[in-house]
Amino acid sequence: MEFCTVETASGKIRGLISSGVRQFKGVPYGACTGGKHRFRRPQPPVPWAGVRDCFAPGPVSPQAPYDRDNDYARLIQYDLNVAFGGMGEDCLHLCIWTPGTGRQDKRPVMVSVHGGGFAIGSGNHPMYDGAKLAQSGDVVVVSVTHRLASFGFLDLADVDPSAEWAEAGVAGILDLVAALEWVRDNIAHFGGDPSYVTLFGQSGGGWKVSTLLGMSAARGLFHRAAIQSGSLTAQMSREAAAAVAHAFVRKLGLTPATLGRIRELEWSDLLAAQTAVGAASFAPIIDGVHIDAAPLSDVALARFDHVPLIISTTLDDAGLFFTDFNLSHEDLGRLLLARYGETAKLLTKLYQECCPEKSPYLLFAQMMTESGFRRFAHAQAEAKAARGHAPVYMYLWEWTSPAFDGKFGAVHAMDVSASFHNERDAILGGGSREAQRMCQDLASTLVAFARTGDPNNARIPHWPHFDASARATLVFEPRMRVQKNPYGKQREFWLGMPAASSVLG
């Protein structure tokens, strides 16, 4: 077995070498967030003497295990969120994969922010393993683990408006800023170029990237960004965040007068209250200091005018929310009639014309995707393109997952494994030849984007910038193509309808 040692600002670390890739796991970018540091901005890691072994991932933010009886959870192996590294408040860690550690190498750096909304997930999950991407793309890959749910986004400032709790509601996002600062200051030791950092995230990871794209503290810390099925067009309201915070504090048996005791409790007590209130109830708000503008406001957009974007969805993103795979056409008709009244007839006709072979379940999944995920993605891309500065590119993932006999279609998170070139993952079919090709196509495209800011490469047809007129979209499926305004009639229908829930998995 081969080892390699790298110097960081906090001390030396030792990693493993496998298939030519240097791997460092559980690298601290911040101090433990428990005790006196709970609900506060991240602090620098405590320096150490000697050499620290970084062979395994560090703990993840406390969270309830995912339901293994859910087929979608099994498809993406979400029960593994807490399987590597355990749980705890010492959760500010990175995993790093690099082909070489020479400071002269100056490889592009690709920083992955994991999904799971703002509530669950982990950069330790196997779907974010960066070894193959680092090897095939000659890039440095970094995955980040940070505070989630109540540990990272509990807006205690409404419970007690003193400065003591001013950062509690945005601590999880400030963790990501700290991680990017660590990359800026240390990644050259891992063969990376801190002036070529690409930030990318899917689902909740996309929400976090969308949030960082409006924060002045993140300006200059990354130079390209990709948002996959996670376009965030609005933040949680202060009123909603306040209601969650008050409910959470009551679950702990505390009051505004006794709030200071919250730092003395075990993290398991907070996890129990978080589970009772609902982990998905937590999200960052516009606090006026760290996050001072909505994602699509001119203020937020102007800060990152110089950053090119990739924005994407999968055809059937919303399928993660539904389990009625045996839905009949009659059932679907009744469901749509109850939701949309007489417009249900037009809706049914629109989708049967474009997708006559899809099951009723997948028709409904695509409808709900276009009502929510795709609408938000187009809104974000349109806002970026309208400013006329750095380009934005749009892609649509249409390749159907072969797992579970294809019943999920082109479901949410299919392109995560492909982004990392992990064709062996179950969602892609366990290493089939077609899965390998799809992984090569998407991973090569993201690497080209990380290297130059332009995703065009020899594996894809010429991919023009997105604009609100032509709406050029690269469609990822075995017969890859660029299409203008795909599913345009369906998109226009939803513009006049209420949006579906924006909650992501």
Active site residues: 203
Do 209 and 290 form a contact (C-beta atoms < 8 A)?
A: no
313 CB-contact burial (10 Å; exposed 0-12 / middle 13-18 / buried 19+): buried
Radius of gyration of the chain (CA): 22
Do 114 and 207 form a contact (C-beta atoms < 8 A)?
A: no
Do 217 and 290 form a contact (C-beta atoms < 8 A)?
A: yes
Instruction: Please give the sequence-ordered ranges of beta strands (E in DSSP) within 183-279, or none if there are none.
Output: 192-202, 224-228
Region of 495 please: left (phi>0), alpha (psi -120 to 50) or beta. Answer: alpha
Q: Which two tokens stand for residue 34?
A: 């428990």
Do 428 and 344 form a contact (C-beta atoms < 8 A)?
A: no
Cα angle, residue 60 at apex, residues 450 and 249 outer, rounded to 5°: 120
d(CA 224, CA 19): 28
In order of 64, 75, 122, 208, 501, the CA distances from 80 in angstroms are 11, 11, 9, 21, 26
Do 439 and 431 form a contact (C-beta atoms < 8 A)?
A: no
CA 13: distance to chain centroid?
27
In order of 95, 327, 357, 383, the CA distances from 331 in angstroms are 46, 6, 17, 38
Taking Cα atoms as reference points, which of 200, 217, 204 lies closest to residue 141?
Answer: 200
